[in-house]
Chains A and B, each alone.
Chain A
Amino acid sequence: MSETAKSATLRDNRGTAQVHVMRSQLGRVRGLGAGHTGTHHWWMQRLTSIALVPLTLWFVFVVLHLIGAPRQQVAHFVANPINAGLLAALVIATFHHTQAGLQVIIEDYVHAEGVRVASIIVMKGLVVLLALISLIAVAKLAFSG
């Protein structure tokens, strides 16, 4: 920081230090980290949360409907394409929302860059795996139930 204070030698008419940056605002947005994907990440988090409002309500009804049911009844339920489609949508929205939320938590609390990047990669890998297992299970029940 002392470096910044030293380089900031220009003053405006009130004597406030001015820092001159030889780079356009557009250049800054294009060149710096969050300018690439920050809004996209935030926006996808909102979109999945909006999708999850009706999907979650539906899923709670499903769980209450299928609670204590034999496996055959679950298979029969998922064999209906509407239910299978909604379950697949729930799985995709849930796990997309999960990785977005966990990424922000990791970014906030893990300060060492190497550990941070490594934990985000591992977390996303696990979440993708869970999503794939869930989707394949839904597909299997949908096609054979």
Chain B
Amino acid sequence: MTDIRDSLMVGRTSDGRLVRRPLSPHLQVYRLNSGMVMSITHRITGAALTVGTLLLTWWLAAAASGDAAYGAVSGFMRSWFGVLILLGWTAALWYHFFAGIRHLIWDTGRALDKPDAYRTGVAVLAGTAILTAITWIVGLVLL
């Protein structure tokens, strides 16, 4: 035996033969539910926010470098592509923000049952939509 965890995988068939127990059904076997979708979305938005950190670094470095560099960042953020990235960044940020708080609540052992998980899931989606809208309304009014 190479790994102690393998001992948990020892099982018997009905005729008494020792076998390796089967693993739980593969992801594709289960019907897709909101918990699964929100879980992978949390991970995807987390990875996407890394792109947002590139923008943060570029913005800070440009502000520290000079007017020409800062003008380039400002120009990019006002281009259609820049606005698209900022829009995605805002939505991803608020989703990851609320879903992250939901995870922190789960870490304390609370709200883990099905009705609560459903309710907090709806709250995360509502919070994301509302805060993304508010951020952009305020941003566009000030721009």
Using CB atoms and an 8 Å cutoff, list the residues of chain A in contact with chain B. 1, 3-5, 7-8, 15-17, 19, 21, 23, 28, 32, 46, 49-50, 52-53, 56, 60, 63-64, 67-68, 71, 74-75, 78, 87, 91, 94-95, 98, 101-102, 105, 130, 133-134, 136-138, 140-141
Query: Chain A binding site: helix, strand, loop or mixed by DSSP?
Result: helix
Contacts of B97 in A (CB 8 A): 53, 56
Query: Chain B binding site: helix, strand, loop or mixed by DSSP?
Result: helix
Whole-angstrom distance from the CB of B95 to the nearest CB of chain A?
A: 12
| A/B pair count, beta carbons within 8 Å | 105
Given contacts A1-B9, A4-B9, A49 and B63 within 8 Å (CB-CB): no
**CB–CB B93/A56 < 8 A:** yes
**In-complex Cβ contact of B7 among A21, A49, A60, A130 (8 A):** A21
**CB–CB B6/A68 < 8 A:** no
**In-complex Cβ contact of B10 among A4, A49, A78, A137 (8 A):** A4
CA distance A60 to B90 in the complex (A): 9
**In-complex Cβ contact of B143 among A19, A53, A67 (8 A):** A67
CA distance A53 to B57 in the complex (A): 20
Q: Which residue of A lies closest to B143 (CB)?
A: A68
